[in-house]
A and B are shown apart, each in its own frame.
Chain A
Amino acid sequence: MTFELFVFYLFAAIMIFAASRVISVRNPVHAAMYLVLTFFTCAGIWLLLEAEFLAMTLVLVYVGAVMVLFLFVVMMLDVNVEPMREGFVKYLPVGLLVGLIMLVEMVFLITQRYFKSEQFPIPERASAEGMSNTESLGRLLYSEYLFQFEIAAIILLVAIVAAIALTMRRRPETKYQKPSEQIAANKQDRLRVVQMPSEKRT
């Protein structure tokens, strides 16, 4: 067994273990942590495939941003997942049946002639000698796919505009601080000296 194969099996085993823990642990925070582990080992497997750009994005975007956000949500909302598990045994047969049908379909498709892997040969190595995967991706993105890249940027802009337009609203009941008015306040505005005759304690 070569070293590469050993690393693959190691990562694959960790990934399967972590992925099954994601859906089996009771504590949602732990589940999120196991999901982080799953993503991380998956990035490792991609590194083995020399897809270092994908591996980096997976770690940066999913582990770095999405999962942190996820953890925040889970920790702040105090989600009680127990009720969601109640029907687990009841739905297990249906779930298994669906899974089995999907497995049979996949095997059928992959082994039959139309979708057999021989029909779709492995593409040739695209990256030239001495050029990393990231570099060739970058070159493609900013030359051949420039138009699509720009449209994708516009789509993100639309998402921002839409999200702000749909959620931002002026609430009259919200109290805002106005520092300029606070500084400009003087004694006459805030303080009123009232003259009262003294009274006896009753």
Chain B
Amino acid sequence: MDNLQIATPEIFLLAATCAVLVVGLFTKPKSNAVYWLSQLTLVITLMMAVSQIGGETKTGFSGAYTVDALSASLKSWLLVVAVGIFLYSRDYVGARKIQRHEYFVLGLFAVSGMMIMVSATHMLTVYLGLELLALSQYAMVALHRDNGRAAEAAMKYFVLGALASGMLLYGMSMVYGATGSLDLNVIADILAGNGDAMTAERTIGARFGLTFLIVGIAFKLGAVPFHMWVPDVYEGAPTSVTMFISTAPKIAAFAMLIRLLVGGLETLSADWQQMLAIMAALSMVVGNLIAIAQTNIKRMLAYSTISHVGFLLMGLVGATSEGYSAAMFYAITYAFTTLAAFGVLLAVSREGHEADELKDLAGLGKRNALLATVMMIAMISLAGVPPAVGFYAKLSVLQAAVGAGFTWLAILAVIMSVIGAFYYLRIIKLMFFDDATDETEVKPAGDVSAALAVNGVAVLVLGIAPGFIMSACIAAFA
């Protein structure tokens, strides 16, 4: 019974998802019942996850599942982000030929996959949680069936995602071969030299596996040189799904990275530090430079994601607990900021019109001042300008990198974020100083406007008073 008790959030979420699936069968395609039930499910799950914050670390299901400070707070944040995702995408999905029941049900399944990943301390659980998330996402990308580009994006995402899963599994099998266990805590013990003798040869085997694990994780995160799928999928997917892919799963992927590399293979940190440092440097350079040339805003945000993944990895290169908490803060706040940016894009889109080119945002300041302001806050946060939260997030990962002796990486990161500021500020210029090409009134629903306003204010307030999240991040690695 102890096992079931610690996993109540997941158990409730999955059971409720199945119930929502059945309700979807009996409601009309136009009705919002499934949407409201999904939101209710998420909110109840959120309350359950929040109630686990501050509790002691508990492991259940023979080591497969762990509740600790890291998992409780990451789960809460990703559920909050998921509530935002569902709210912002409701009207967008409703106005298009996307099956809304399936959209929300698959979304709930994806959220449960992420929660499982966050709590996984067993390589099999990590993999299964990841697949649950990935399969739901492939389907969500393809859900806009009359759109050829969505189908193409889904195909690319599926093939490359399957390749990445293969890499990850191969790495896991090598680590299993070298250590004889799939349980990450046991692996950490064995690699540290407890238990039977870890010969040099077997350590090499584990390192070999580590390389493949990192390739797999980098694919999922979209770090250079494994980023090829990111722009195409972001551009081709329906904007609401792009928002889904670019926000909450980044938190889950961060958790996976921590569980595998820090939880399981920290003894080999000397090896993975170098790999992460190279990937971080490449991601920041490639992401920021190529984003400048983009005219499609979804593609631009895709390259922006790549560069932010570089920053996130920079927090980890030091292999210090300050760095881990800085990266965790980065992942959470990045998800919030991107959520606001995509939320505005979704609100500007309307039936028969996709706001995905830069010129679609021109003159938004006159068309709807609230949306333009929220977008501006999101952009200055992504660019890392104070007082938005992006500044503090960047500052803390830079501190961690410098503190760990990776000064060259920190200098490169600063140069790149100055270059990157150009394309974020260009959007602000377009919104407030250019004339609108499209004078149609932008009127999102009342609750969407309110949520966007709250989201924008949160991005600002967290930047001025980051202690609230930061203390949770520090507690997770204490």
Contacts and interface: CB of A to CB of B under 8 A. Distances in A.
Given A120-B205, A145-B64, A148-B128, 9 more contacts: A115-B205, A147-B7, A154-B14, A158-B106, A161-B102, A161-B109, A162-B139, A165-B139, A166-B142
Interface in A75-123: 113-116, 119-120, 123
A116 B136 CA distance: 40
Given A162-B136, A166-B143, A148 B106 contact: no
A146 B64 CA distance: 9
B139 A166 contact: yes
A165 B116 contact: no
B433 interface: no
Contacts of A113: 201
A123 B180 CA distance: 9
Contacts of B124: 145, 148
B70 to A, nearest CB: 18
A152 B131 CA distance: 9
A155 B131 contact: yes
A169 interface: yes
Main secondary structure of the interface of A (DSSP, over half): helix
A151 B128 contact: yes
A154 B133 CA distance: 11
A165 B105 CA distance: 11
Interface string B1-34: 0010001000000100010010000000000000
B138 interface: yes
B145 A169 contact: yes
A119 B198 CA distance: 10
B64 A155 contact: no
Given A165-B99, A165-B139, A119 B199 contact: yes
B129 A165 contact: no
Nearest to B64: A147
Interface in B393-415: none
A158 B129 contact: no
Contacts of A144: 62
A65 interface: no
B116 A151 contact: yes
A159 B135 CA distance: 7
Given A115-B205, A145-B124, A155-B132, A166 B106 contact: no
A125 B474 CA distance: 45
B35 to A, nearest CB: 16
7 contacts: A113-B201, A116-B201, A148-B64, A154-B112, A155-B132, A158-B109, A158-B132
Contacts, number: 79
Nearest to B174: A115
Nearest to A109: B208
A152 B205 contact: no
Contacts of B112: 154
Contacts of B180: 123
B177 A161 contact: no
Which of the listed residues A115, A116, A146, A147 has the most CB atoms from chain B within 10 Å of its own CB?
A147
Contacts of B132: 151, 154-155, 158
A158 B128 contact: no
A155 B62 CA distance: 21
Contacts of A148: 64, 122, 124-125, 128
B145 A114 contact: no
A115 B99 CA distance: 51
Contacts of B350: none
A115 B173 CA distance: 13
Contacts of A114: 201, 204-205, 208
B102 A165 contact: yes
A146 B202 contact: no
B157 interface: no
Interface string B194-235: 000001011011001000000000000000000000000000
A49 to B, nearest CB: 18
Contact of B205 (A119, A147, A166): A119
A162 B205 contact: no
B61 A146 contact: yes
A161 B105 contact: yes
Contacts of A161: 21, 102, 105-106, 109, 139
B65 interface: yes
A87 B112 CA distance: 48
A157 B112 CA distance: 13
B135 A158 contact: yes
Interface string A158-172: 110110011001000
A145 B131 CA distance: 17
Contacts of A116: 201
Contact of B129 (A119, A120, A145, A151): A151
A155 B135 contact: yes
Which of the listed residues A119, A148, A166 has the most CB atoms from chain B within 10 Å of its own CB?
A148
Contacts of B128: 148, 151-152, 155
A120 B138 CA distance: 38
A145 B62 contact: yes
A115 B132 CA distance: 33
